[in-house]
Amino acid sequence: MSTTETRTSTGSRPGATGRRPRRPSSQPVWAERPGPIMQAAKGLLIGAICVVMLYPLIYVIAMSFGTAESIQSGQLFPTSFSLEAYRSVLSGGVVTRAILNSVFITAVGTFLSVLLTAMLSYGLMRTREVPGARIVLILVLLTMLFGAGIIPMYILMKTLGLLDSHWSIILPGLIGAFNLIVMRNFFMNLPGELFEAARIDGAGHFRIFFQIVVPLSKAVIAVIALFYAVGYWNVFFNAMIYLNDTSKWPIQVVLNQFVVQNSDINALQNPDRPPPPAQAVQMAVIVLATLPILVVYPFLQRYFTKGVLTGAIKS
């Protein structure tokens, strides 16, 4: 065989250049393991995002413990710390009463909202079996597109005699359309054989709901409860409209008075002690208003993936 034929035959063979043909990956591109450079870039990006997100929180907490000298010196983080701001806030009674109001609104509102949303979701699971269920579902979904408006809602609360009552904040938001959709889809993914077996054994709807549906739906119930709790705890606009009695204000309204409008701070201070700096008092109120959600959130975070994804996608 000549040299030319040898080169031609060698060049025509697959893999003669020393390169193996690339095997097609069975996974999509976004599911493949990234290289070291991409992993390092992702780590730096996540670290930068964490710094940006945590810096305001750390700053607020540090300034709430700052003394008058450290704050007036213009330090980014105070070097000397004091609890005087928290003593003034908690001894004045205004913030303490507002926190108790927010706890009542959040606890009662979350319990009623989760209970009624779950019961309505169970009733709307099978629209073909329940008469009028499709109409009710459409009416609930329409609330995501249209609202009554501020003035009609105020007139309704006044007509019902709910002004200056915490029920004016709880009742209008008892059932959220988005939460209803998520919970209903979660219920629809539960095995239908369980409901059929329970009916054969003579169980009614209430027994099926409380003994079968609720125990199997702890994940979505925890997620929806957190959604409602955050909404009730952060209520501000409705409280400003419906509550004229300052003793019934929730913590967010009091926070607005102290931080945004910078009013009534002297009322919190003890005349027997030197007044704490106004900025430290403001930051202390912010910490007290944020702390409950920060404490509850980590315990319910593990339910988020299962509860939201399973409730949002129907198999």
Summarised one tens digit per residue, pLDDT across range 8-53 is 444 445 444 555 555 455 666 666 777 788 888 989 999 999 989 8
Burial class (CB in 10 A: 0-12, 13-18, 19+), 11: exposed
Start-to-end CA span in the chain (Å): 65
pLDDT of residue 185: 87
This prediction has a pTM of 0.76
Long-range pairs of 163-166 with CB within 8 A, sequence gap ≥ 24: 163/242, 163/243, 163/244, 164/242, 164/243, 164/244, 164/245, 164/248, 165/242, 165/248, 166/101, 166/104, 166/105, 166/108, 166/243, 166/248
Burial 188-210 (b: 16+ CB within 10 A, else e): eebeeeebeebeeeeeeeeebbe
| Residue range 237-291, pLDDT digits in tens | 999 999 988 889 999 998 888 777 665 555 554 555 566 777 888 888 888 888 8
Arithmetic mean of pLDDT over the chain = 80
